[in-house]
Amino acid sequence: MITSMTGFGRGESSSNGYQVTVEIKTLNSRYLDVSVRMPGTLQDKEIELKECVQKHLSRGKVNVNINVDKSKGAGIDIKLNEELAQSYSSILNDLRSAGSIDQPVTVQDLMQFNDIFETKKEDEEEVKIIWECTKSALVTALENLNTMRRNEGQELKDDLSNLITGISELLDEVTILSDKRAPEVREKLKTRITKMVTEEQIDPDRMEMEIALLVDKMDINEEIIRLQSHLKFFLEALEADEPVGRRLNFLCQEINRELNTIGSKANDSTVAHHIVLGKEKLEQIREQVQNIE
């Protein structure tokens, strides 16, 4: 199934008063590029987090944001450093005395020193709870993300199928024009050559050979067959159950090459017009393929 590389997923999990929320945003990229923002409690789990993401995604720029809320019954995780607060209070009182300042030291004065408050470090059991919640929330977020990416992928698939069908229909018209042109080209060449020389100077066998070579140079049947094959492979890739973004990108290059060759060899304004329309559709396809995983 076609999957888009852009999407958003959110997951939550809670246990023992801890609630973990994971949000994942993805954008298109040639490779898988995972960046994680998380609290210090989980810093040593970054590699495991990225490995989990890699099991669900193969391409794209992935931004993972993890938030841990401890306010739901887990207790206060900030404490006062009493010794440091007393030291600051003593220093301020000494400063007040030295400066002959009448105002007493207040709590507001002590609040200017941020380091009198310390964050309580989680014990091993608390870290374990947070990590289990994080893994659960991460998997949920990834599943929701992939649901969104698949839904968008289905829309991309429908659009790409229509565009490929449009190129195929143009190619059918080019094929009909090409089949009609070969005899006409042959006669025009023969007429031009006959006018240029007298009948006595013409070598019929040599002339037939030259005409055959010229007609062969303008023959686009081989390019048409290759292009039809590329279009067929493209539609088959859209039905694959694996990531096909790189394959589709390669097929776009091959389709473009055959369109260019047909346009240059055909030497016909009507065929050229059809090729231009085909290349316009191909450009739309290439833009869409950039978003496919």
Indicate the pLDDT class of residue 122, thresholds 50, 70 and 90: low
pLDDT at 85 over 80: yes
pLDDT at 214 over 70: no
Q: With contact defined as beta carbons under 8 Å apart, do 215 and 254 qualify?
A: no
Neighbours of 110 (CB within 10 A): 16
Q: Bigger pLDDT: 44 or 184?
A: 44
Helix (H, G, I), strand (E, B) or coil at 71: coil
Q: Pairing state of beta strands 117-119 and 18-27?
A: unpaired
Query: Which pLDDT score, from 0 to 100, does residue 35 have?
Result: 94
User: Which phi and psi angles does 267 have, rounded to 5°?
Assistant: 55, 45
Most distant CA pair in the chain: distance in Å? Answer: 129
pLDDT at 18 over 60: yes
- 275 φψ region: left (φ > 0), alpha (ψ -120 to 50), beta (else): alpha
Indicate the pLDDT class of residue 209, thresholds 50, 70 and 90: low
Domains in the chain: boundaries:
7-74+123-150, 78-119, 152-289
Query: Which pLDDT score, from 0 to 100, does residue 69 have?
Result: 87
Range among 100-104, 132-136, 212-216 rated most confident: 132-136
Distance between CA atoms of 45 and 127, rounded to whole angstroms? 11
Query: Which pLDDT score, from 0 to 100, does residue 238 have?
Result: 93
Q: In what order do the strands lie in the sheet with 7-15?
A: 7-15, 18-27, 60-69, 32-37
Indicate the pLDDT class of residue 97, thresholds 50, 70 and 90: confident
Mean pLDDT along residues 266-287: 90
Q: With contact defined as beta carbons under 8 Å apart, do 13 and 136 qualify?
A: yes
- Of 68-72, 252-256, 270-274, the least confident: 68-72
Q: Pairing state of beta strands 117-119 and 7-15?
A: unpaired
Query: Which pLDDT score, from 0 to 100, does residue 125 have?
Result: 84
Query: Which pLDDT score, from 0 to 100, does residue 39 have?
Result: 87
Which string of b and e fits 83-105 if b means at least 16 CB within 10 Å?
eebeebbeebeeeeeeeeeeeeb
Indicate the pLDDT class of residue 98, thresholds 50, 70 and 90: confident
Helix (H) or strand (E) holding 94: helix 82-98
Model's pTM, two decimal places? Answer: 0.68
Distance of CA 48 to the CA centre of its chain: 23
Torsion of CA 57, 59, 65, 66, to 10 degrees: 30
Q: What share of the chain is helix, strand, coil (3-state, %, to 5)?
A: 65, 15, 20
